[in-house]
Amino acid sequence: MKAIVYTEYGSPDVLQLEEVEKPTPKDNEVLIEVHAASINYVDWQVLTGESTFLRLWNGGLRKPRHKILGDDIAGRIESVGAKVTEFQPGDEVFGISTFDAFAEYASVSEKDLAMKPASMTFNEAAAIPYAAMTALQGVRDKGKVKSGQKVLINGASGGVGMFAVQIAKQFGAEVTGVCSTSKLDMVRSIGADHVIDYTQEDFTANGQLFDLIFAIAGQRSIFDYKRALSSDGIYVCVGGSLGQYVQATLVGPLISMTGSKKMGSMFTNPNKKDYAFLSELFEAGKVVPVIDRCFPLSEVPEALRYYGEGKVRGKIVITMKQNGEA
């Protein structure tokens, strides 16, 4: 089968389209004919090796141990391992492959997959898993969003942010999306009540207070975020600079112990119940992935170059099939 392979950390130039062995599913895995995949920030980090933690996770401090990239996956099951109970050949599924998706086939544990709703295209399905799961768990679970609350999404124009805006709206929140100038229209178009251009305005210094701040991007001090929280507001950090995330993880719990504001970070925990919830939102037309561009498998290097330019609105999808459907 064809796959995008890399043997050293670096820019998208290190990626090659190569013929590699088709995987054989283990007992608890299914073999998926991949129809579409999508790019997440973690793919960029694993490609460039910029995160030591991810180098270690990938098992290769100096060189990548795992040679294929791509987490989010959507496709049709070709065969199932001996102990698989939930799926059968022909099922259309989506989920997280943990670095195997930029290939024509992937073996994925059945626990990491969900049935794709018939009304969802493979391209849409590939855009959803990691980003939408993170947005849902950040806004609903850790952020405990309630109807009528004022919610600020910092990083509203990216993969996670685009879902977070829509999910917060579904829970009845008044949503402010923070993004750069050229993406304001997109963030408005997915339902944000207000938008703030972070190149023009500092949302932590304009006197507005928020019941929930979901930090997906940026590199701000936790004390800036604290200032922008209402008296019993919640701050949830999932991304942005390493410093921002580490501060939220280490200092956040201390701040939470000493006052009524709750601050901290979270790590996404993909699970089938939440896939079902996201599928319901999709089928009801309440959450729709914004797909900036689609690239064929052979153009993954171009896709990642484009991603690295920071111009993407929502998600980039990689299509293994001509129209992502066949």
Ligand X SMILES: NC(=O)c1ccc[n+]([C@@H]2O[C@H](COP(=O)([O-])OP(=O)(O)OC[C@H]3O[C@@H](n4cnc5c(N)ncnc54)[C@H](OP(=O)(O)O)[C@@H]3O)[C@@H](O)[C@H]2O)c1
Binding site for ligand X (CB under 6 A): 40-42, 130-131, 134, 154-155, 157-161, 178-180, 183, 198, 216-218, 238-240, 266-268, 310
CB of 99 to ligand X, least distance (A): 14
CB of 295 to ligand X, least distance (A): 15
Distance (Å, rounded) from C-alpha 249 to C-alpha 228?
18
- State which residue, 134 or 149, has the beta carbon closest to ligand X: 134
- State which residue, 45 or 79, has the beta carbon closest to ligand X: 45
Distance (Å, rounded) from C-alpha 178 to C-alpha 169?
15
CB of 47 to ligand X, least distance (A): 13
Instruction: State the residue number with the nearest CB to ligand X.
Output: 158
- State which residue, 174 or 224, has the beta carbon closest to ligand X: 224
CB of 96 to ligand X, least distance (A): 11
The end-to-end CA distance of the chain, in Å, is: 17
- State which residue, 269 or 298, has the beta carbon closest to ligand X: 269
CB of 245 to ligand X, least distance (A): 7
- State which residue, 105 or 275, has the beta carbon closest to ligand X: 275
- State which residue, 86 or 224, has the beta carbon closest to ligand X: 224
CB of 197 to ligand X, least distance (A): 9
CB of 97 to ligand X, least distance (A): 15
Q: Which parts of the chain fold into alpha helices (H)?
A: 41-48, 52-57, 122-127, 129-136, 159-170, 184-189, 222-227, 242-250, 252-258, 272-283, 300-308
**What's the angle, vertex CA 306, arms to CA 45 and CA 127, rounded to 5?**
70
Contact 131, 162 (CB under 8 A): yes
Q: What b/e string do you get for 126-140 counting C-beta neighbours within 10 Å, with b at 16 or more? A: bbbbbbbbbbbbbbb
- State which residue, 15 or 217, has the beta carbon closest to ligand X: 217
Q: Is 8 exposed, middle or buried (0-12, 13-18, 19+ CB in 10 A)?
A: exposed
Kindly state the tokens that stand for 174: 């008044």
In degrees to the nearest 10, what's the CA dihedral of 209, 141, 190, 321?
150
Distance (Å, rounded) from C-alpha 33 to C-alpha 105?
5
- State which residue, 199 or 258, has the beta carbon closest to ligand X: 199
Please tell me whether residue 322 adopts helix, strand or coil conformation. Answer: coil
Backbone angles phi, psi at 72, to 5 degrees: -75, 135
Kindly state the tokens that stand for 70: 């791509």
CB of 237 to ligand X, least distance (A): 8
Comparing C-alpha atoms, which of 66, 67, 130, 76 is closest to residue 105?
76
Q: For residue 101, what is the DSSP state?
A: -
CB of 21 to ligand X, least distance (A): 30
- State which residue, 150 or 315, has the beta carbon closest to ligand X: 315
